[in-house]
Amino acid sequence: MIHPVQFIRSASDALQTLLYTHWKKYSQVVVMTDKNTSEHCLSHFRNTFVNRDFIHIPLPELTEENKKLRSIENIVAKLMYTQVDRNAAIVALGGGVVTDTVGFAASVYKRGIHLYLIPTTLLGMVDAALGGKTGVNFNGIKNQVGSFYFPREVIIDPGYLATLPRREWESGFAEMIKHGLIADYAYFEQLINRLAAGKMTDKLMEHIIRSVEIKMRIIQTDFREAGKRKILNFGHTVGHALETCALQSGTPLSHGYAVALGMAVETALSVEFAGLEKATSRKIIRRLLEVYPVPEGMDTAMTDCIMEAMKHDKKNSGGEPSLVLLQAPGMPVCNKKIPESEIREAINHTLFSV
Amino acid sequence: MIHPVQFIRSASDALQTLLYTHWKKYSQVVVMTDKNTSEHCLSHFRNTFVNRDFIHIPLPELTEENKKLRSIENIVAKLMYTQVDRNAAIVALGGGVVTDTVGFAASVYKRGIHLYLIPTTLLGMVDAALGGKTGVNFNGIKNQVGSFYFPREVIIDPGYLATLPRREWESGFAEMIKHGLIADYAYFEQLINRLAAGKMTDKLMEHIIRSVEIKMRIIQTDFREAGKRKILNFGHTVGHALETCALQSGTPLSHGYAVALGMAVETALSVEFAGLEKATSRKIIRRLLEVYPVPEGMDTAMTDCIMEAMKHDKKNSGGEPSLVLLQAPGMPVCNKKIPESEIREAINHTLFSV
C-alpha cells in the first residue's frame, strides 16, 4: 500500500536504472521545479539524467505565501498548454512546498497522474515527501486543501543537499528530532548533540534512513490518519499555529523551527496531561530551546493569534484543540483535549518565560 | 471497495433509518444545494429530515459554465467560515454538476471528509453520482481537474424527479440508453420506445435500478479506469467535444443530448473499425437521431471545433483520439485509435448528412 523510497548513495547509476526500468513506460516525463530548484538543483538532475528526454516546466518561486489554489490553477494551465496526457508522469523536484503543491496538482490533474518526488531539502527527505500527503494553504491556514495521494516512488539523493542553507538544515533536523522524541530517545540525543556542535553532515545518510524508517513504519499502519499516524503531529498543533502567526506578522519562521518550538510547548503540557516526568520534560525543553532559541522580537503579543489559529487545525474535532503529548520519551499519546487556558499558559511560560 | 447505493421507494422511513444509524456519528452534517436545488429540492429534503439538525450551506447556481476551480475555492471558503471540521459529513443535494463540484470540494477539504450524494436529476441517479468520479472544468475543457473519491453512500429518491424539466429527462435517458448499447440491447430498445412515446415515467424505478446495476458492475471491476471502466465512455469522446463546442458557441447542449449524438457518430465508426454490422449500425443511428435530432443551426461549421476539443480528451494518450466502439450491440471494445480524418467524415456524414 505504501509507496517505495529509493536511496541514491552513489553517482547516477541507481537513477539510470530506475529511469530505464520504470519511466520508459510513460508517454511523457514532466519535471517541475520552482525558481529555487531551477537554479540550484536542475543541473544535478540533468547530469543524472543524461541522454533521457524529459519536458521541463519551470514554476515561479513557491513559498508558504503562494502555496495556494492559484498555484494549482497555474500548474494545471501549464500542463494543459503542454498537452500533458493521462499516461505521463510528473516529477516534482524541490523542497516540501514544491512537492506538496506539485503533488496536489498531479493528484487532481485529469483525476490523477503518476507522480515521482525528488525532495531536495532535508525536511523534504525525512518528512514532507513521505507518506502521500499533498496540499496547499487557504486564507493563511496551512494545508486546508489537499489530498492523500501516493507518489509512485520517492527518490532520496543527498547530492541535492550540497547547496542547502543553514536555516533549511535546522528545519529538517527539527522533524528528525521529533522522530526521536516519539520513537527513539537515543536518536533524539544524538541529533541534538550534532546540531549543538554544528556537525549536521556527520552520519547524515544514516540519520536520514533512520527517520524514513520511523515515519514509514508509522504511516504503514494508518495512512489516512484515522489513528496512529496522528503521533507524527507531535509539536505540530502549536507549531502550525506559530508558523501561521509568524507568517502573518511578516517574520516567517521555517516549518521545522516552528515545530521545534511547538514541541517544547507540548512537552511542557505533557507533565500535567500525560504523566511525563517533570525532570525529563525540563531536560527536553532545555535542549530544544538551546538549538532552537525563541527568535528575537517574538513575545506574548503573539499568543492570541496562536490560540486563534489553533482553532482551524485539521486535527480538531468539535472545536477544542486536540494534541499529541508524551507519556515518556518515545511513548506518545494522541487526542488529548487540553483546555485553551492551559495551552495559553504553557506557551507564555515555556516560550516567553512569563 | 465500491460505495453502496440506497434506493428510497417509500416516504421518508428509509432515510430516517439511514440518518439515525449512520449520520449520528458525525460532528456536523452539512447539506449543500445550489440555487436550483435550494428552490426545488430542499423542501422535500427538509420534510424527510424532520427533527434532524443539519447545517444548510446554499451555493449560487452551478452550471457547466461555472463548474470551475473558483467554485471549489468558494465552497472551501464557506466550509472554513462555518468551521466545518474533519469529522463532519457533507451531503451534496443536486444534479450532476452539484455532485461533481461539491464532491470534489469534499475530497480535498482538509484532505477529504465524508461525503453523501443525493442526486436530484435522472442523469445524476443513473450516472454522475455513481462511481466516485468528481471534478470541474478548466479553460472550457470538461472535468480536467478532479479526483476519484467514493461517497459513503449514494441515496436515490425518485421523489426529487417530480420537478424535473423535459430537457433533463432526455439527458438522463441518453446515459441509460448507453447502458443498453454497451450491456443489454433489449434494454436499449425499451428505453428508446418509451422516449419516442413520451412515456418516460413508465417503469421508471425499474429502469433506474437496471442502469445502476450495469454501471456499478462495470466500475466494480476497474474503478480507476485502467481498463474495463472505459466502456462507459461510449459516445463520450465525440459527445464531450460536442458539448464543449456547443457551450463555446453560446448554444449549450445538455450532457446527455451531446452523448446521444456522440453515440450516433461512434456507432457509425464501429462498422469499419470494430466490425459492427452495417444494418445494425444504421438502425441504432436512426433510432438515436429520431429521439435526439440534431439541433437547428448546428452544422459543419462546428466540426473543426469538435476535432480540436477532442485532442484534450483525458482518455487520449499520445495525442490520437481513442474511442470506445461497438463490435455488436452489448459488446463494446476500448482504445480504438481512429484517424482524425475518419472521425471528421463520420461527424459530417452522420450528424450533418454531408
Q: Taking the alpha carbons of B32, B37, B42, B48 in that order, is the dihedral positive or negative?
A: negative
Check if B20 contacts A (Cβ < 8 Å).
no
- Residues of chain A positioned with their CB less than 8 A from the CB of B144: 76, 80, 109-110
Cell numbers for A37, please give them. 530548484
Measure CB to CB from residue A135 to each of B77, B87, B111 and give the nearest one: B111
pLDDT the model gives residue A251:
85
Whether residue A350 is predicted with pLDDT greater than 90 in this model: the reply is: yes
Instruction: Count A/B contacts: CB-CB distance under 8 Å.
Output: 99
The residues spanned by each domain of chain B are: 5-163, 166-352
ipTM of this predicted complex?
0.86
Cell numbers for A181, please give them. 522524541
Comparing CA positions, the residue from A34, A36, A74, A27 lying closest to residue A55 is A27
Residues B80, A144: C-beta atoms closer than 8 Å: yes
Residues A85, B109: C-beta atoms closer than 8 Å: no
Report the residue of chain B nearest A109, measured CA to CA: B145
pLDDT the model gives residue B222:
76
B354 burial (CB, 10 Å; 0-12 / 13-18 / 19+) is exposed
Residues A147, B107: C-beta atoms closer than 8 Å: yes
Residues A80, B314: C-beta atoms closer than 8 Å: no
pLDDT the model gives residue A174:
97
**Rounded to a whole number, what is the distance in Å from the CA of B28 to chain A's nearest CA?**
9
> What residues does B92 pair with on adjacent strands?
B32, B117
DSSP H helices, B23-114, are 35-40, 42-48, 69-81, 96-108
Report the alpha-carbon distance of residue B57 to residue A98 in Å, rounded: 33
- Residues of chain B positioned with their CB less than 8 A from the CB of A138: 76-77, 80
CATH topology of domain A5-163: Rossmann fold (3.40.50)
Report the alpha-carbon distance of residue B260 to residue B176 in Å, rounded: 10
Specify whether the CB–CB gap between B347 and B303 falls below 8 A.
yes
Whether residue B318 is predicted with pLDDT greater than 60 in this model: the reply is: no
Question: Mapping DSSP to helix (H, G, I), strand (E, B) and coil, where does residue A33 land?
Answer: strand
- Residues of chain A positioned with their CB less than 8 A from the CB of B86: 314-317
pLDDT the model gives residue B67:
96
Residues B83, A311: C-beta atoms closer than 8 Å: yes
Preferred mutation among B108, B141, B312, B320 to probe A, highest tally of A CBs within 10 A? B108
pLDDT tens profile B3-61: 888 888 765 566 666 666 677 788 889 999 999 999 999 988 887 766 567 899 999 99
A264: left (phi over 0), alpha (psi -120 to 50) or beta: alpha
CATH 1.20.1090.10 fits A166-352, yes or no: yes
* Exposure string for B319-337, b = 16+ CB within 10 A, e = fewer: eebbbbbbeebebbbbebe
pLDDT the model gives residue B226:
67
Helix (H) or strand (E) holding A154: strand A153-156
Cell numbers for B274, please give them. 470494430
Check if B205 contacts A (Cβ < 8 Å).
no
Kindly give, in sequence order, each residue whose CB lies less than 8 Å from that of residue B175, ignoring residues fewer than 6 positions away. B123, B126, B127, B211, B256, B259
pLDDT level of residue A48 (50, 70, 90 thresholds):
confident
Preferred mutation among B110, B225, B244 to probe A, highest tally of A CBs within 10 A? B110
pLDDT tens profile A241-297: 999 899 888 888 998 999 999 999 999 999 999 999 999 999 999 999 999 999 988
